[in-house]
């Protein structure tokens, strides 16, 4: 009954433009706060519960990435650029960028500790849905 | 100059031929990245006028596996200086190790760095290249109070927004001429707390300089606030120095002196990419004052006004003017250009 209520709740609250923070099944958490997602994608935190986590980004021009950066990272493109240039000098690379949603799904399904984001209609049952980023 | 033009040409070729993203380094493969930076400056004081190819540096870093990473950086400082008043020039293409370390990340809380790295003191010391700084002139307290580099080990412990760094050095520096003190021993701890756009923290440390025959306790605090439009940054330190009788090279053996100072710096983004910076610093060096003025308590006031034009974040053109209240220190005008690649 609980599961059924949750599914109904998610269906009712989903909007088409929402994106979902998703992760490989090995990811150590079932739910995640935005603050932790931000730390992972800014490469300030590389482990969760002692397990290495691997963030993936969609290409800069994708709507999902723009939405993710505005709503989760809460940073403008210019701030992000300066952040990554400074990080380069400190020996830190940005998350790996994938070219398509299909590629993102493949990485999430196959890489241990992978975390990324997808539009809700691209979610499959073999990945963990950690949180919804509302449009 | 030929070297400089060749380097620029090389970078342009790199940018076109390889998958090179300007400012983010060149990804050699999935794990290894290479990059570097150059800075040049024109400096004018009442005594001299010089044009300088200030720094050339190359760095390479990467992940060895999930837990081990490394960084190696070579730098040549003061590579070419042309004195405009008398036409003389100095060349010094001598690359030295600026940073060389291996890092082990145990989990999200604990990591250990071993090798040569920037001493975890304050905030200014951790942004050692001109391109990221708001001014090319350094606050005096960031070069006079503590060693800029540590060759040893640094243990970092993070818990939520709080971070502790414990560092230890019990050996000579790697490339010991490339540090502001001849450090033989250095022990210190730093605590910092970061919340939203604000960072606060403090340091305590002790080090020994064998060349000067001196040991020093130092402690200090720092604070920074960054917003999209302005940045505020302040650091203050006190150091207590003891010159021993056996090795000291100056005449004040078996004496204690104090150095202390504080700076406050405000940067305002007038309109992208133009920033204005004002810095005020107070500094007192008892031993220096005794040598020059025969008294210990002469406080130096340093004012700096700067303009920073940053068309891209990895490129910076700065114009600044610094005045000092002490007669022995000249007012300085500097124009500098720096780029990270």
Token pair, residue B32, equals 């290894």
Give the ipTM: 0.85
Q: Are B186 and B169 in contact (CB under 8 A)?
A: yes
From B90's Cα to the closest Cα of chain A, the distance in A is: 28
Task: Give dist(CA A20, CA A65) in Å, integer.
Answer: 11
pLDDT, tens only, A80-131: 998 999 999 999 999 999 999 999 999 999 999 999 999 999 999 899 999 9
Give a yes or no: residue B26 inside a domain: no
- pLDDT confidence bin for A15, thresholds 50/70/90: low
B49 assigned to some structural domain: no
Task: Confirm whether B90 is domain-assigned.
Answer: no
pLDDT in tens, B253-265: 677 899 999 999 9
pLDDT in tens, B74-98: 999 888 999 988 889 988 888 999 9
Structural domain contains residue B6: no
| Full domain range(s) for residue B131 | 62-69+101-340
Rounded to an integer, the average pLDDT of B119-143 is 94
Residue B220: CATH number of its domain = 2.40.160.10
Pick from B107, B132, B230 the residue to mutate for testing the A interface (most A CBs within 10 Å). B107
B74 in a structural domain: no
Cα–Cα distance between B271 and B279 in angstroms, integer?
A: 20
Poorest-confidence range of A62-66, B4-8, B115-119, B302-306? B4-8
- Give how many domains chain B has, as a whole number: 1
B265 within domain boundaries: yes
List Cα–Cα distances, A123 to A16, B12, B30, in angstroms. 12, 42, 27
Residues 154-173 of B with CB under 8 A from A: none
Closest Cα in chain B, distance from residue A67 (Å):
20
Could B23 and A48 be called an inter-chain contact, meaning their C-beta atoms sit closer than 8 Å? Answer: no
Q: Which of B272, B274, B297, B270 is nearest to B286 (CA)?
A: B297
What is the Cα Rg of chain B in Å?
Answer: 21
Mean pLDDT of A1-26: 69
**Residue numbers of A between 18 and 47 with CB closer than 8 Å to B:** 45-47
Closest chain B C-alpha to A10 CA, distance in angstroms: 30
- Secondary structure of residue B283 in the 3-state scheme: strand
Residues found in chain B = 341
Which of B35, B105, B129 minimises the CB distance to A46?
A: B105
Each as own residue / partner, the long-range contacts of residues A24-28 (CB below 8 Å, 24 or more positions apart, any chain) are A24/A108, A24/A109, A24/A110, A24/A111, A24/A112, A24/A113, A24/A114, A24/A115, A24/A127, A24/A128, A25/A126, A25/A127, A25/A128, A26/A51, A26/A112, A26/A113, A27/A51, A27/A53, A27/A113, A27/A114, A27/A115, A27/A128, A27/A130
**Strand ranges of the sheet holding A96-97, from the earlier edge strand across to the other edge:** A96-97, A54-57, A114-119, A19-23, A128-133
Residue B56 falls within a domain, yes or no?
no
Whether B126 maps to a domain, the answer reads yes
Closest in B33, B67, B313 to A82, CB measured: B313
E-assigned strand segments in chain B: 20-21, 25-27, 32-44, 49-63, 68-83, 89-91, 96-105, 110-118, 149-159, 162-170, 183-195, 198-209, 214-226, 230-243, 255-271, 274-285, 300-312, 315-324, 332-340
């Amino acid at each position: 009954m609980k599961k059924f209520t949750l599914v109904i709740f998610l269906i009712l609250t989903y909007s088409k433009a929402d994106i979902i923070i998703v992760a490989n099944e090995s990811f150590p958490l079932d739910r995640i706060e935005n603050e932790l997602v931000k730390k992972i994608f800014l490469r300030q935190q590389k482990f969760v519960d002692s397990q290495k986590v691997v963030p993936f980004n969609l290409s800069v021009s994708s709507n999902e990435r723009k939405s993710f950066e505005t709503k989760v990272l809460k940073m403008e493109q210019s701030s992000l650029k300066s952040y990554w240039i400074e990080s380069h000098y400190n020996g830190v690379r940005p998350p790996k960028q994938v070219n398509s949603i299909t590629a993102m799904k493949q990485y999430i399904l196959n890489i241990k500790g992978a975390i990324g984001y997808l539009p809700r209609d691209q979610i499959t049952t073999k990945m963990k849905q950690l949180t919804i980023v509302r449009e | 100059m030929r070297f400089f033009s060749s380097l620029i040409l090389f970078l342009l070729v790199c940018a076109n031929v390889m998958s090179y993203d300007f400012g983010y380094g060149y990804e050699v493969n999935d794990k290894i990245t290479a990059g570097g930076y150059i800075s040049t400056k024109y400096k004018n004081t009442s005594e001299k006028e010089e044009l300088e190819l200030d720094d050339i540096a190359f760095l390479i870093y990467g992940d060895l596996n999930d837990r081990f990473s490394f960084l190696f950086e070579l730098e040549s400082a003061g590579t070419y200086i042309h004195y405009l008043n008398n036409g003389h020039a100095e060349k010094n293409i001598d690359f030295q190790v600026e940073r060389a370390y291996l890092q082990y990340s145990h989990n999200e809380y604990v990591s250990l760095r071993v090798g040569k790295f920037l001493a975890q003191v304050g905030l200014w010391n951790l942004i050692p290249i001109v391109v990221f700084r708001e001014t090319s002139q350094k606050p005096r307290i960031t070069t006079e109070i503590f060693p800029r580099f540590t060759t040893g080990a640094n243990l970092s412990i993070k818990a939520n927004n709080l971070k502790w760094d414990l560092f230890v050095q019990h050996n000579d520096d790697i490339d010991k001429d490339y540090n502001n003190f001849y450090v033989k021993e250095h022990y210190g701890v730093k605590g910092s707390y970061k919340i939203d756009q604000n960072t606060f923290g403090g340091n305590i440390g002790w080090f020994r300089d064998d060349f000067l025959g001196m040991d020093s306790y130092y402690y200090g605090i720092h604070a920074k606030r960054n917003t999209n439009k302005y940045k505020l940054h302040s650091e203050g330190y006190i150091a207590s120095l003891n010159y021993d009788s056996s090795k000291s090279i100056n005449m004040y053996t078996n004496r204690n002196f104090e150095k202390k100072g504080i700076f406050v710096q405000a940067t305002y983004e007038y309109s992208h990419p133009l920033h204005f910076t004002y810095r005020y610093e107070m500094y007192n060096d008892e031993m220096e004052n005794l040598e020059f003025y025969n008294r210990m308590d002469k406080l130096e006031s340093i004012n700096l006004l700067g303009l920073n034009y940053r068309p891209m974040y990895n490129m910076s053109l700065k114009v600044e003017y610094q005045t000092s209240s002490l007669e022995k220190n000249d007012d300085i005008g500097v124009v500098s250009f720096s780029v990270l690649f």
